[in-house]
Structure 1
Amino acid sequence: MQLGTFSVSLSVKDIKVSKAFYEKLGYVVFHGDIDQNWLIMKNETSTIGLFQGMFEKNILTFNPGWDENAHPLKSFTDVKELQKQLKSKGIEIVTEADESTMGPANFVITDPDGNPILIDQHV
C-alpha cells in the first residue's frame, strides 16, 4: 500500500516559538504562512508541519500524489482507493472522503492508541 509522503503535523501553542526552536534543529521553512498560523518545515528528507489553533492532537500525515518536495507524482494510489482498501481490511474511517468525487480529498483514521492519521491528497 502506497500511502504517500510522510510528515508529522504538530499542534503548537505558539507558532513563532516553535518555528525558532525547529530552526535551531536545522529545519527551514518550506511552505506555509506564519500569519495564518501554519508552516511546513524541512530538514533534509524530514518534514514537519506546525499548526497553531487548528487541531487538538499531533497528527501523522501522508500525502498521496506528492513526492517529498510537494511535486506531483505521475503515478500514485488515489486517496479514495486507499480508503476503500483500508475499509476492506477492517480499519474504521473516522472522517471519510467522498468516494463519488475526483481529485483532492482526505480521510482520517486512528491507530490503536488513538493517534490520528490523516491521508490528505492535494492533487
Structure 2
Amino acid sequence: MKLGAFSVSLNVKDIHRSKAFYENLGFKTLGGDINQNWLIMKNEQSVIGLFQGMFEKNVLTFNPGWDHNAEDVDDFTDIRELQKGLKKKGVTLIEEADESTQGPAHITMLDPDGNPVLIDQHR
C-alpha cells in the first residue's frame, strides 16, 4: 500500500505568524497562497501545511502520486484501490472517493485517538 508523500497539515490561528515561526526553523515555502490562507512549507524531507480557517484539527496527510517536492511519481497506488483495501481491512471512512471516477479524489478517516487522516490524490 503506497500512501504517497506524508505531511502534517496544521490548523493555524495566524498564518503570517506561523509562516515566520517555521521560517525561523529553516522551512521554506514550497507552494500555496498566503492570500488564500494556506501554505506548504518544507525543510529537507519534512513537509508541513499551514491552513488558517480551513479545518478544525491538525491533519495527518498523505498524497498518492506525489513525492516530497509535490512532483508526480509514476508508480503509485490510486486512491480508489487504497480505499478498497482499507475497507476490506475494516477501516471506517468518514469520506469516500467515488470509485466510478478517475483522477483527483480524497478519503478521510480518524485514527484510534480521533486524529484526522487525509489521503488526498491530486492527479
In the superposition, the TM-score normalised over structure 2's length comes to: 0.99
- The equivalent of 2:15 in structure 1 is 15
Q: Which amino acid aligns with 1:29?
A: T
Structure 1: unaligned runs, 5 residues or longer: none
Alignment partners' CA distance in 2, 1:65 and 1:80: 13
- The residue type paired with residue 59 of structure 2 is I
C-alpha displacement at 1:71, in angstroms? 0.9
CA deviation vs aligned residue, 1:11-59 (integer Å, no higher than 9, x gap)? 0000000000000010010101000000000000000000000000000
Deviations 1:86-106 (A, max 9, x none): 000000011111111000100
Amino acid corresponding to residue 60 of structure 2 in structure 1: L
Q: Determine helix, strand or coil for the equivalent of 2:70.
A: coil
- Please tell me the residue identity of whatever aligns with 1:24: N
Find out whether 1:59 has 2:59 as its counterpart: yes
Structure 1 residue 75: deviation in Å? 1.4
Q: Aligned partners of 2:12 and 2:62: how far apart in 1?
A: 19
Identity of aligned residues (%): 69
TM-score scaled by structure 1? 0.99
Structure-2 separation of matches of 1:99 and 1:117: 19
Aligned to 2:111: 111
Structure 1 stretches of 4+ with a deviation exceeding 6 A read none
Aligned residue number for residue 76 of structure 1: 76
Quick one: distance in 1 between partners of 2:47 and 2:68?
8
